[in-house]
Structure 1
Amino acid sequence: MLAKGYSYEERAAQWLQAQGWRILQRNYRCKVGEIDIIAMDDSQLVFIEVRSRSNRRFASAAASVDRRKQQKLLRAATVYLRSVGARENYPCRFDVIAFDPRQSGQDAELRWIRSAFTA
């Protein structure tokens, strides 16, 4: 399962770079949580959670970023901002890149949710 999750994170990172984004860090880990991708979108610092689902019968990948997960991401982002100092003056946002299975076919569809939640 780890390999599958990594492949979705890799697809998300490649997609972001194709959009002109600069990836600053992947899989940032600290005591309070993890952030899948940290990137710059023009002059905005973006914390990105990558989620996937393999079965359409359960909640969507995006819906799995519940309030508890959002709080963990917020805490991890705060730690990150304190650790880099200089970037804390950039406006920040939280995006979700979700991969849900298509109705037919094997390849999951990428869905980008800009400003998925706020602090």
Structure 2
Amino acid sequence: MSKSHLNLGKASEDLATQFLKNNGYKIITRNYKSPLGEIDIIAKDKGAICFIEVKSRSSNRFGLPQEAVSGFKQRQISRVALGFLKEKGLLNSKARFDVVSITYPLEDSPDINLIKDAFELNLDYTY
């Protein structure tokens, strides 16, 4: 991954975190890592634990950012989220998967979209 791509990712996660806070989310942690993968942001919103994937693009030329949350990525996030809930003793908690999609149009403010309940728990191990 190029340095500029990594910088865009970090800046996007920072922007998404502030956006979520401004919309009433309470951030629990960022960049939660386990042997199974990583979740960009874990937050609480109205009693639900939210596992949030941040996707960004410099344009929509290759599709919308949220389209990059593939079935494989959903399964990976689902497994990591389940591990987090087990680790914290929160298996009976309400949880959901959200996506923050950010596009950076040339010479314009970023376009930020929050997609609540973007996908359901997916533990299908077939590829």
RMSD of the alignment, in Å?
1.2
SS of the residue 1:88 aligns to? coil
Aligned to 2:50: 46
Which residues in structure 2 correspond to 1:61-80 (within 5 Å)?
61-80=65-84
Residue 97 (structure 1) aligned with residue 100 (structure 2): yes
SS of the residue 2:44 aligns to? strand
Letter in 2 for 1:19: N
Identity of aligned residues (%): 37
Structure 1 gaps, min length 5 = none
CA displacement, residues 20-46 of structure 1 (integer Å, 9 cap, x when unaligned):
211001000001110000000011000
- Once the 2 structures are TM-superposed, how far is the Cα of residue 55 of structure 1 from its aligned partner? 2.9
- Once the 2 structures are TM-superposed, how far is the Cα of residue 57 of structure 1 from its aligned partner? 1.5
Aligned equivalents of 1:116 and 1:72: distance in 2? 14
Aligned equivalents of 2:23 and 2:65: distance in 1? 22
Deviates more, 1:13-22 or 1:38-47: 13-22
Aligned equivalents of 2:24 and 2:59: distance in 1? 31
Structure 2 gaps, min length 5 = 122-127
Regions of 4+ moved over 2 Å: 104-108
Which residues in structure 2 correspond to 1:1-119 (within 5 Å)?
1-85=5-89, 87-102=90-105, 105-119=107-121
CA displacement, residues 3-34 of structure 1 (integer Å, 9 cap, x when unaligned):
22111101111111111211001000001110
